[in-house]
Structure 1
Amino acid sequence: MTQEFHFTTLDQEQLSILIKDSIADALQDWQHSEMNKLQLPEFSTRKEVATLLRISLPTVDDYIKRGIIEAVRISGRVRIKDSEVRKALTAIKSQRYKRR
């Protein structure tokens, strides 16, 4: 089996565009694969959410209390919808968290 190599000449701008496009595509693919890894049941416990997000249980409670993650009570037990966890992960709307 033989390998063929083709050489082409690129100027600096073409190379820069090629690299940027390749990195953007790779990052987009990675983000989609990471979001697909988050497989939660429709309703999760506080402990399951804490484990998934790698945060403490009191932090999950604080997020619920502050309205960052919406939770529901079912027969005295707190449950969190999968869509609420995803919504909390994707939205940063506050100006306070932007880089200066």
Structure 2
Amino acid sequence: MSDPALAPRSPLTGLVVTWAVAAVGALVIGILAPASTVMAWFVIGFGASILLSFAVQLLRGEAKGFILRVAAGCLGSLLVMGVISIGFGVAALFSA
């Protein structure tokens, strides 16, 4: 039997880090990527955020709830990047 954690770290920190990196990545992609390849870059950015979510939760070092935390990180990144890409899409409609 293992010893209980005396002061477990909050799982919210790892999730917020993943979501923030996804938001910054989406903004950078939306600003710098050419219009013809912007959606391909969003897919690449989302793939990177999935890997980041997995790595952050591995570094946390707690097995209990690992799959749930990774899934929450990935889903949050998808939602953040989706909202930002919708914003860029609507802005592209009105800028032409």
Higher strand share: 1
**TM-score of the aligned structures, taking structure 1 as reference length:** 0.30
TM-score, with normalisation over the residues of structure 2? 0.30
Select the structure that is richer in helix. Answer: 2
Higher relative contact order (CA 8 A, sep 6+): 2
